[in-house]
């Protein structure tokens, strides 16, 4: 069986209050964030937290994301990085998260699917809503809706 999940990030100001979320369904999702970060870090953290949550399932994983940056980084570019440096010799951005994701991907069957954001894709919209809610909670200093987590 393949787990299908959406992962998304949100930043209010970029950088600014930020959130991340992954979503399988209304009973299986998680979110979090920071007082200040970027959208890209939110997107990457959503993927990382989803990988961690599903690590023990033994199931294949299809991650739907609206971030070309995330998908290209993890499916194309990382295979050409040498010492976590890009082809031009500059360091890979967000290498701390990239390294953790790289470790989590090892030995797993994970596929990524790009979905256009903000056009009504139900799972992407659900992940986006939760990531934005986390960012807003940090912006207002209120409790972050963090979800039930992995419930399968």
Q: Among this protein's residues, is 121 annotated catalytic?
A: no
The catalytic residue among 42, 125, 128, 147 is 128
Q: Are 144 and 33 in contact (CB under 8 A)?
A: yes
- Strands 60-65, 110-114: pairing is parallel
Choose, from 9, 19, 33, 42, the residue flagged as catalytic: 9
Catalytic residue among 49, 66, 104, 125: 66
Collapsing DSSP to helix, strand or coil, 91 comes out as strand
Residue 95 annotated to the active site: no
Is there a catalytic annotation at residue 113? Answer: no
Of 56, 118, 120, 141, the active-site residue reads 118
Question: Is 9 among the residues known to form the active site?
Answer: yes
* Cβ-based neighbour number of residue 90 at 10 Å: 8
Residue of 46, 114, 105, 107 whose CA lies nearest to 74: 105
The number of residues making up the chain comes to 152
Q: What residues are paired with 65 via a beta bridge? A: 7, 114
19, 42, 43, 147: the catalytic one is: 43
Whether 8 sits among the annotated catalytic residues: the reply is yes
State the alpha helices, DSSP H only, in 19-109.
39-53, 68-75, 95-105
Of the listed 8, 49, 104, 125, which one is catalytic?
8
Active site residues: 8-9, 43, 66, 118, 128
């Amino acid at each position: 069986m393949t787990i299908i999940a959406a992962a998304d990030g949100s930043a209010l100001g970029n950088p600014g209050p930020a959130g991340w979320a992954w979503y399988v369904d209304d009973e299986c999702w998680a979110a979090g964030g920071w007082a200040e970060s970027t959208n890209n870090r939110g997107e990457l953290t959503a993927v990382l937290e989803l990988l961690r949550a599903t690590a023990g399932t033994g199931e294949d994983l299809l991650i739907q994301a609206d971030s070309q940056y995330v998908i290209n980084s993890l499916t194309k570019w990382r295979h050409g990085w040498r010492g976590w440096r890009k082809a031009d010799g500059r360091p890979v951005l967000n290498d701390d998260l990239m390294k953790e994701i790289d470790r989590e991907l090892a030995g797993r069957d994970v596929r990524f699917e790009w979905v256009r954001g903000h056009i009504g894709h139900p799972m992407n919209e659900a992940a986006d809503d939760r990531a934005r809610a986390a960012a807003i909670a940090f912006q207002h200093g209120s409790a972050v809706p963090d979800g039930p987590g992995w419930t399968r």
